[in-house]
Amino acid sequence: MDLPIIITNFKTYMEATGGKALDLAKAHAKVAIELKVSLGIAVQPTDLVMLAAGVSLPVFAQHMDAIEPGAHTGGILPEAIKNAGAYGVIINHSEKRVPFTDIEKNIKRAKDLKLFTIVCCADDVEAAQIVKFEPDMIAVEPPELIGGDISISTANPDLIRKSVAVVGKGRLIVGAGVKTADDIKIALELGASGILLASGVVKAKEPEKVLRELCGALK
């Protein structure tokens, strides 16, 4: 996976479910190829097979459970994610928090299956605890800014600096309220290597156009 990268979290928006998810994924792939930038997507488990097969992008599962194969009705099995074609998995998103002990288990299970791990946390304090488990990358997203119109880049740039110091260069993704190319540019200048965003692209009237504008910050 090339850096810097923008990863769009499709969440469970209807605009990014089923056939619409495939259309949105193809728009990401088109922009990535034409602009020569690195883009990824995080998708619902029900769309994972279709999207992993449908586009040449890093496709992430939005969640997985720290379980082994067996009697775990409703669980999301790491092996199932791997077999579906996922490149990696997002762990501990603020909308899908898991017990701290499960974070370590999930990272180990993912590594055993060669799944790329992005672990989410709220701040540099949590990042300092999680980095000990050696995930591939850590995504810092202050929960109070997620889904809002004020980005981490403008509301709390010092958090990005502190998180880079904790996590190390080349391993930090930031998100929450990121909606403009300036937001992305500031985050990258402060030391982040990736951006995690969602509604700014998914809910846009013209998502491909918005994506192209955002990608200007990666050049």
- Which value, to the nearest 10 degrees, does the dihedral of the CA atoms of residues 47, 49, 50, 56 take? 110
- 147 has a pLDDT exceeding 80: no
Give me the pLDDT at residue 146, please.
80
The terminus-to-terminus CA distance of the chain in angstroms comes to 16
Let me know the angle formed at the C-alpha of 43 by 37 and 46, rounded to the nearest 5 degrees: 145
Give strand pairing partners of 5: 38, 194
Structural domains in the chain, CATH included, are 5-218 (3.20.20.70)
Residues belonging to the active site: 93, 141
pTM score over 0.85 = yes
Give me the pLDDT at residue 168, please.
94
The tokens describing 187, both together, are: 């985050």
CA distance 141 to 114: 25
**Residues 59-92: pLDDT tens digits?**
999 999 999 999 999 999 999 999 999 999 999 9
- 150 has a pLDDT exceeding 90: no
Tokens 């992005």 sit at which residue?
Answer: 118
Contact 175, 146 (CB under 8 A): yes
- Please, is 28 exposed, middle or buried when counting C-beta atoms within 10 Å of its C-beta (0-12, 13-18, 19+)? buried
- 205 has a pLDDT exceeding 80: yes
Q: How high is the mean pLDDT of the chain?
A: 96
- Please, is 198 exposed, middle or buried when counting C-beta atoms within 10 Å of its C-beta (0-12, 13-18, 19+)? buried
Let me know the angle formed at the C-alpha of 80 by 132 and 173, rounded to the nearest 5 degrees: 35
- 178 has a pLDDT exceeding 90: no
16 pLDDT band (50/70/90 cuts)?
A: very high
